[in-house]
Amino acid sequence: MPPQVIKLNVGGEVFATTRHALGRTPGTFLADLVSEEAADKLLFLDGAIFIDRSPKFFQHILDELRGCTPCVPTETSAVLQLLQESRFYGLSRLSAALEDGLQPQAALCSHHTGGSQAAPGALQTILTSTDVSLPWE
């Protein structure tokens, strides 16, 4: 049986992935979203499940779910936004890596940032700096 393709409309941008990728990490927002229990609660827009979030970092979220290492942005505000999104979606491994200043595995997916990556330890400096506060704390 071929994998079931799921279309997601995240803030107006459509992404496609498999049910398997979304359900790979039980207990996450996206795994719960494609569970049978959620089927009658889903909001569809033009045939895609609608998620009312910014699409800006969603490709990074999908990369993590697919087992590919998402590239970490180098700008402080972007790192904090990706951390916020990874927490929303319940991706504890990515959240912990961002919080600890680590990039999961080696940088395998440099195509999202044009090859630019934060230097090792740079995220730790960013997240522990006294002049940076997390917006959700």
Using one digit for the tens of pLDDT, what is the confidence trace for 53-110? 999 999 999 999 988 877 777 777 888 899 999 999 999 988 988 887 644 433 444 4
Using 50, 70 and 90 to split pLDDT, how confident is the model at 1?
Answer: low
Tell me the two tokens of residue 48.
Answer: 């895609």
Rama region for 30: left / alpha / beta (φ>0; ψ in -120 to 50; rest): alpha
- Asked if residue 113 has pLDDT above 80, the reply is no
Domain spanning 5-128: CATH superfamily: Potassium Channel Kv1.1; Chain A (3.30.710.10)
d(CA 124, CA 79): 11
Residue 110's CB is within 10 A of a number of other CB atoms, namely: 12
How many other C-beta atoms can be found within 10 angstroms of the C-beta atom of residue 87? 17
Query: What mean pLDDT do residues 28-34 have?
Result: 92
Which tokens belong to 56?
Answer: 């800006």
pLDDT band, very low/low/confident/very high, at 3 (cuts 50, 70, 90): low
What pTM was estimated for this model as a whole? 0.69
